[in-house]
A = this chain, B = another copy of it.
Amino acid sequence: MLAEIITIGDEILIGQIVDTNSAWLGEKLNAAGIRIHQITSISDSAEHITQAVNEALSRADIVLCTGGLGPTKDDITKHTLARMFGMRLVRNEEVFEQVKRMTAQRHIDFNELNQGQADVPEGCTVLPNRCGTAPGMWFDRDGKVLVSMPGVPFEMKTLVEEQVLPRLYEHFQFRAIVHKTAITFGLAESILAATIADWENALPDYLHLAYLPNANNIRLRLSAYDVDREKAAAEIDRQFALLDRVIPYRIIGYGDATLESAVGELLRRNGESVAVAESCTGGNIAHRFTLQAGASEYFMGGVVAYSNDVKCALLGVDPEALAREGAVSQTVAEQMAEGVRKATGATYGISTTGIAGPGGGTPEKPVGTVWMAVSGPQGTVSHKMQFESLRSQNIERASSHAINLLRLRLCGAPDDGLWTIKY
């Protein structure tokens, strides 16, 4: 099953926005067993839209278009598709009422342009958009399917998940698609692949494994197509349980789990809390925890101890130890973690101190050297890591590893080589 994506709008071509819709669609369709053959970004031009849509329909079974559905004159996708397919525009009452409600809510004039959002090509299937004024439109063409959707990411995503994907499943009669993604942290892709090779080779034929690396994790997705849904789901769970024994403590969760959500869940379950003492990560660990809704249940806050004065004044770091061993040292990292735990009363303290770069490195402590520690009821553990990338990447990776240090402790992982991450 082949699909193509067409994104319509000058703002992508002039680089005003990054096209994140296509990657999201690519992953969703790929998980459903549909292969994306091509992604094409074009301008708001009738000729260009007509040509791109015709070409895509000649190559693929499914064509998903996003963008060009706004109320203003420069948005012409709907009119162009209607003309291509020889349909006239007719008012859709359901959409009309929805647009009326939305404009009232947002205190926007319900003028002719906005009312025009309710006009749709006669004969297409209207997919109501509960997040915006432009509905999705589904066209059947000789067994193939063309869907036109708004380009606003959350409107498009809601339409795809609630309406487009279920309709595609039905239309093309996929018997069942089951997939689940395990999120791993701490093993580079090549090492992970070598470590789990036996497990991978023993997977039943009908289960497909995909490696999906991103900035922070390697995600492993197991998919099954055209099989009994319940049986396959049970088999996937069984296989991931086996995998967890092959790479203990490396799977941080499933689906959209992150290191911070995994830690948050463990703390919440135990009625425990955490506070942070950040030097080189400069607030990023706190930021990552607090991006999660409900973080106040387990995240107390902490100290961004960027200057040495703040390390001593607010975290009780010993000025003599700091002078003797330097800010980037095991002693200071441990005193920071212990200090923030004492200052806030949190169950656990996480600390980081290092050299994010590009300046500040020395032969003994080059750029990318980071000490991190976790202090808790059972004492304090610390680790040194050496990163070697750009400032922003060093900050991001040091944050991940520091959060993982607490995760490993909360999981009861043994403090052996595991904690030192292999790349």
Residues of A within 8 A of B (CB): 12-20, 22-30, 35-43, 48, 52, 210, 212-214, 275-276, 278-279, 281-287, 289-291, 293-296, 299-307, 309-310, 313-314, 343-345, 356-360, 391-392, 395
Contacts and interface: CB of A to CB of B under 8 A. Distances in A.
22 contacts: A13-B38, A14-B27, A14-B30, A15-B27, A16-B214, A19-B23, A37-B43, A38-B40, A38-B52, A276-B283, A278-B283, A278-B286, A282-B286, A282-B291, A286-B306, A287-B395, A293-B358, A294-B359, A301-B305, A309-B344, A313-B344, A314-B344
Chain A interface, >50% SS class: mixed
A293 B16 contact: no
A316 to B, nearest CB: 12
A303 B314 contact: yes
B300 A303 contact: no
B16 A212 contact: yes
Contact of A12 (B23, B314, B358): B23
B296 A307 contact: yes
Contacts of A282: 286-287, 289-291, 295, 299, 301
A314 B300 contact: no
Given A291-B282, A343-B314, A13 B40 contact: no
Contacts of A343: 310, 313-314
A293 B13 contact: no
Contact of A307 (B210, B293, B344): B344
A287 B283 contact: yes
Nearest to A290: B282
B306 A301 contact: yes
The 10 closest A-B pairs by CB, nearest first: A282-B290, A283-B286, A15-B26, A15-B27, A283-B283, A301-B306, A39-B41, A301-B304, A283-B287, A13-B36
A279 B89 CA distance: 51
Contacts of A36: 13-15
Given A282-B289, A359-B293, A39 B16 contact: no
A275 B314 CA distance: 13
A39 B12 contact: yes
Contacts of A214: 16
A395 B357 contact: no
A364 to B, nearest CB: 19
A16 B14 CA distance: 23
| Residue among A23, A26, A40, A304 with most chain B CB within 10 A | A304
Contacts of A283: 276, 278, 283-287, 289-290, 304
Given A38-B42, A295-B306, A344-B313, A17 B13 contact: no
Given A14-B30, A293-B358, A395-B291, A310 B300 contact: yes
B301 A307 contact: yes
Given A282-B291, A284-B287, A286-B304, A15 B41 contact: no
A208 B15 CA distance: 17
Contact of A26 (B14, B289, B304, B314): B14
A395 B291 CA distance: 8
Given A38-B42, A38-B52, A303-B314, 6 more contacts: A14-B26, A16-B23, A39-B41, A282-B295, A290-B356, A303-B303
